[in-house]
A = this chain, B = another copy of it.
Amino acid sequence: MPHNLKLYFSFFIFPFLIPGIHSTLFAQAAETKYVMVIHGGAGTILKSSMSAEKEKAYTEALTLALQQGYTLLKAGKTSLDAVEAAIRVLEDSPLFNAGKGSVFTHDGRNELDASIMNGKTLEAGAVAGVTTVRNPISAARAVMEKSQHVMMAGPGAEQFAKEAGIEMVDASYFKTRERWEALQKAIRDDSLKNKPDQGNKKPAKAGVINKDNKFGTVGAVALDHAGNLAAGTSTGGMTNKKYGRIGDSPVIGAGTYANNATAGISCTGWGEFYIRCVVAHDISALMEYKGLSVEQATQTVLDKVSKLGGDGGIIALDKNGHAAMPFNTAGMYRGTVSSEGKIEIMIYR
């Protein structure tokens, strides 16, 4: 890992500032230890349809997110701090379907979901369907740290975020032209199909129509100097979504899970299948109960998603700094930073 390096960026850092890194650097030079992995969504991302300009923009945003996270880890901050900071960068970018770049619901609204989990304590926080929280990942963290709850939804979640001092914005902050046009297209496409049915009954049909309506979720997993893992996920949901649909991103165990005993995991893809497969927790369970490696476990569970008819990707980082980032789509925006600060960004297969 990574096997499919397409783009490469070097980010000079000071490894001697991170306890334990210095000796590791020389003792295990052959094996890269990662301290953070991120994703910006999986989907039909083809080199043939990507302009050099767009590729550069995505690469820069992903690099910035990893830099921010790494800088915090280097300064001795926690994996939770790094995960939150990296995801905030991606939320603030209009490129990804999270925060600023969130897609529109059928009613022309932006309903955002996010979750975060602390691998040391198994504490977790999540918000679903918030419309005026600039950085849902920070609201999720506030739920974890400042409430006795794990999951909050809708206006109640926004009220809590406000009381917790989280930055609120007008709902219009999330309205971008590109996403609005995507909604109009989705509504046109949607009118061509019949009544909706459960994804797995007619996967090919539903898959064609909704193929790019459900992707772009962002996520991060980090491992800090104390050996603690954290994972987080943030999304704008599915273009043209109806009925207050909640996907896997705010569901602990499905879209996000972290456990120091195994790994931190963040998912992106067709949320319904990720919930049904309890993807993030299943990866942890395979590692803990069957001794699978993070590579084996992520691939095994992604194969289960594929078998049911779902698609998407997974990023995972285990307690030893081993990373895995499988996906069954054409591409997945993703990146890693090693303990030495080497940043790698990948987009295609």
Contacts and interface: CB of A to CB of B under 8 A. Distances in A.
Interface of A: 121-124, 128-129, 144-157, 159-160, 195-200, 206, 210, 242-247, 251-254, 257, 271-272, 275-278, 281-282, 285-286, 289-290, 308
Given A159-B243, A197-B148, A198-B144, A281 B285 contact: yes
Given A198-B123, A286-B289, A308-B122, A243 B276 contact: no
B151 A246 contact: yes
Contact of A145 (B124, B198, B252, B289): B198
26 contacts: A122-B276, A122-B277, A123-B198, A128-B246, A146-B195, A146-B197, A148-B197, A148-B198, A149-B243, A150-B271, A151-B247, A151-B275, A152-B243, A152-B246, A153-B246, A155-B244, A156-B242, A251-B251, A251-B253, A252-B278, A253-B253, A253-B281, A257-B278, A281-B285, A285-B286, A290-B290
A278 B124 CA distance: 11
Among A195, A197, A210, A285, find the residue whose CB has the most chain B CB atoms closer than 10 A: A285
A16 to B, nearest CB: 35
Contact of A156 (B124, B150, B244, B257): B244
Contacts of A149: 196, 243, 245, 272
Nearest to A247: B151
A150 B244 contact: no
A123 B200 contact: yes
A124 B244 contact: no
A148 B251 contact: no
A145 B198 CA distance: 6
Contact of A129 (B153, B210, B282): B153
9 closest residue pairs by CB, A with B: A156-B244, A285-B285, A253-B278, A289-B289, A160-B243, A156-B243, A151-B246, A278-B281, A253-B253
B152 A244 contact: yes
Contacts of A281: 253, 278, 281-282, 285
A164 to B, nearest CB: 10
One complex includes copies of this chain to the number of: 2
Contacts of A156: 242-245
A272 B275 CA distance: 18
A146 B196 CA distance: 7
A237 B138 CA distance: 25
A148 B208 CA distance: 14
Contacts of A155: 244
Nearest to A107: B156
Among A123, A253, A289, residue most surrounded by chain B Cβ atoms (within 10 Å): A253
A289 B262 CA distance: 15
A136 to B, nearest CB: 14
Contacts of A308: 122
Contacts of A285: 281-282, 285-286, 289
Contacts of A247: 151
A90 B197 CA distance: 29
Contacts of A151: 245-247, 251, 275
Contacts of A257: 278
Contacts of A253: 251, 253-254, 275, 278, 281
B276 A150 contact: yes
